[in-house]
């Protein structure tokens, strides 16, 4: 996997960015001093998000020795000429699907870039984050949208269950 794709996958997995949000990032969106990235979210909203150290390191590695020389201000550009930014999030989704194929994940409900966002939300929920906190990170305007990620965790429920009266025969 190349440096560009690795940095893209980390943005999807660690920050829960949408494919379109990654595709539209520009070089000017990164504030290295503050370790923040400006994300253009749904509905013309903008959000400043912290850049985790591993994500920052991956972006730096891509910029220093993976990104082709280009006058394009988009953070991620095509590897083949012309070296321009992606037209939409479709290219990001294809990068995510290719990564899933490489590790043998073929059948899942959220195939593509969104599986990383969904996995982040599920892991945060299992780690004790509230739906409100998760919704804030994922930049959901409506709390009902965040509830989609509150799937039943059977293993977690088993630890809470009481023994059946009379036991299992």
Catalytic residue among 4, 62, 139, 149: 149
Is there a domain that residue 166 lies in?
A: no
Average of per-residue pLDDT across 146-153 = 68
Give the HSE-up count for residue 22: Cα atoms under 13 Å, Cβ half-sphere.
32
Q: Which residue has the higher pLDDT, 11 or 145?
A: 11
**Annotation says 62 is catalytic:** no
Q: What is the pLDDT of residue 156?
A: 62
Catalytic residue among 4, 67, 74, 140: 140
Q: What is the pTM of this model?
A: 0.85
State percent of the chain over pLDDT 90. Answer: 51
Supply the range of the domain harboring residue 16: 3-156
| C-alpha span between 159 and 51 (Å, rounded) | 35
Is there a domain that residue 163 lies in?
A: no
Is there a domain that residue 43 lies in?
A: yes
**Annotation says 149 is catalytic:** yes
Q: What is the pLDDT of residue 14?
A: 96
| C-alpha span between 169 and 106 (Å, rounded) | 39
Catalytic residue among 4, 74, 117, 118: 117
**Annotation says 110 is catalytic:** no
**pLDDT interval class at 155 (50, 70, 90):** low
**Annotation says 42 is catalytic:** yes
- Which whole-number Å values give the CA distances from 142 to 43, 122, 134, 145, in the listed order? 13, 18, 12, 6
Q: What is the pLDDT of residue 36?
A: 97
Catalytic residue among 14, 83, 111, 114: 114
Residues listed for the chain: 169
Is there a domain that residue 167 lies in?
A: no
Is there a domain that residue 105 lies in?
A: yes
**Annotation says 117 is catalytic:** yes
Is there a domain that residue 60 lies in?
A: yes
Is there a domain that residue 164 lies in?
A: no
Domain CATH number, residue 135: 1.10.443.10
Give the chain's domain count: 1
**Annotation says 3 is catalytic:** no
* Torsions phi, psi for 31 (to 5 deg): -105, 95
Is there a domain that residue 132 lies in?
A: yes
Catalytic residue among 4, 18, 67, 139: 18
Q: Which residue has the higher pLDDT, 168 or 44?
A: 44
Q: What is the pLDDT of residue 73?
A: 96
Residue 78: pLDDT over 90 = yes
């Amino acid at each position: 996997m190349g440096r560009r794709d690795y940095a893209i996958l980390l943005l999807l997995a660690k920050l829960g960015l949408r494919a379109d949000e990654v595709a539209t990032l520009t070089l000017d969106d990164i504030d290295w001093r503050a370790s923040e990235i400006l994300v253009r979210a749904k509905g013309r909203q903008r959000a400043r998000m912290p850049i985790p150290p591993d994500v920052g390191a991956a972006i730096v590695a891509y910029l220093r020795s993976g990104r082709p020389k280009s006058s394009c201000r988009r953070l991620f550009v095509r590897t083949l000429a012309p070296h321009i930014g992606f037209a939409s999030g479709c290219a990001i989704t294809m990068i995510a699907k290719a990564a899933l194929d490489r590790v043998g994940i073929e059948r899942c409900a959220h195939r593509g870039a969104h599986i990383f966002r969904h996995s982040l939300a599920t892991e945060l929920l299992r780690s004790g984050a509230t739906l409100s906190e998760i919704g804030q990170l994922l930049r959901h305007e409506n709390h009902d949208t965040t509830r989609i990620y509150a799937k039943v965790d059977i293993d977690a429920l088993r630890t809470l269950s009481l023994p059946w009266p009379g036991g299992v025969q």
